[in-house]
A and B are shown apart, each in its own frame.
Chain A
Amino acid sequence: MIGASAVPLVWYQVLAAVLFTIGVVGVLVRRSAIIIFMSIELMLNAVNLSFVAFSRQHGTMDGHIFVFFVMAVAAAEVAVGLAILVAIFRNRATANVDDVRLLKG
C-alpha cells in the first residue's frame, strides 16, 4: 500500500501550469512552424502531467488511460502535421507561418 505523496500534489499541478504557459508563449511569439509544433507538444505534455497527478490523487488509473490517448493523438497529429510542413517547405521553401498566409498557390 502506498500512502500520501511526500510532495504535495498541488506542486505537480503548478508545475504543469507553468509548462503549459511556456507552451502558450511559444505558440504565440515564435514564427517557425516547427517550433510552434514543439510548443504544442509541450502543452500536451503539461496536460499529461496534470492527468497523472490527478490520477495519483484520486487513486484511479483513468488519468493514465487519458495520457495514453493523448499520446496516440499526438503521434497522429505529428505525422500529419510534419507531412504538411514538408509539403509547404517543398512548395515555398519556408517554415515561417507568416509567409503562408495567402490562400492562392
Chain B
Amino acid sequence: MSLEPILFAMFGGTAIGCAVGVVFHRNPVHCALLLVGVLLSLSGLFVLLHAPFVAALQIIVYAGAIMVLFLFVVMLLNVKGESPLLTPGAAKGFGILFALIVFIELLGTVLPRSGDSSRLPDAVLPEGFGSPAAIGRILYTVWLFPFEITSILLLVAVVGAVVLAKRKFA
C-alpha cells in the first residue's frame, strides 16, 4: 500500500477547501492566509510529482514573498470586507454559470475519451528528475533566452512599482 494516494487526497482536499475559502471569505487577511494554504498544499503535490525544486520555489517565492506582499498591502490599506460580499444581481448568476462552462470545457479536454488509445503511458523518470542540477542544466541551455528576458521583465516591474508608489515626482 503506497502512501501516495492518501497524500494526494490530503493535499488536494486542503487545496480545494482553502481555494473555496479564498473566494468566499469576507476578511481579506483570512483570504490571503487561505491562499497560502493552497500554495503550500500545491507544493506538497509538486513533491509527489517528483518536482522538488519547483516545490521549494513555490514556498520561497510564492508563499514566502508574494503572499507576504499581499498581506502587507491588505494590512497597510486596512481593507475591510466589502459589503455586499458578491456582485449584486444577475452578474453573479452569469459569473457562476460562465465558470461552470469553463469547468466542463476543461474536464472535456483533460479526461480521456472512451476508446482513445493514443494516450501515452506515464514516462519512466531518470534518477535526479526535477533536481536543481537537472533544472539548471536545461534552464541555462535550452531556455537561456527566455530566462534572460525574465530578468528584464522583473526590472521593468521594479521600476513600475517604484514609479507608481512614489507620491510626488520631484
Contact = CB atoms under 8 A, between A and B. Distances in A.
Contact of B103 (A9, A17, A41, A90): A17
Contacts of B54: 48, 52, 64, 67-68
A22 B50 contact: no
Given A3-B122, A34-B28, A26 B50 contact: no
B79 A42 contact: no
Give the interface SS of chain B, mostly helix, strand, loop or mixed: helix
Contacts of A9: 122
Nearest to B123: A59
Which of B91, B103, B121, B138 is most buried by chain A, counting CB atoms within 10 A of its CB? B103
A61 B134 contact: yes
A100 interface: no
Interface of A: 1-7, 9-26, 28-32, 34-35, 37-39, 41-42, 45, 48-49, 52-53, 55-62, 64-65, 67-69, 71-80, 82-87, 89-90, 95-96
